[in-house]
Amino acid sequence: MSKKKAPRTSSNMPTVLDQARDELFSHILRCGVLEAAPEHQKEWMDDTMQYIADRYPDMGKDELAQVRTLGERFCRPVVKHTSAGGAAEAVQAEEQSPPPEQETADVS
Q: What angle do CA 74, 76, 77 make, to 5 degrees?
A: 105
Write the pLDDT tens digit of every residue in 45-64.
Answer: 999 999 999 999 999 999 99
Q: Provide the whole-model pTM.
A: 0.61
- Domain of 32 in residue numbering reads as 20-77
Residue 36 lies in a domain: yes
Q: How far apart are CA 87 and CA 93, in angstroms?
A: 10
Distances (CA, A) of 14 to 20, 32, 50, 79, 99: 10, 26, 21, 30, 58
Residues of the chain where predicted confidence (pLDDT) is lower than 50:
none
Residue 11 lies in a domain: no
Q: How far apart are CA 58 and CA 78, in angstroms?
A: 32
Instruction: Count how many domains the chain has.
Output: 1
Position 93 scores a pLDDT of 53
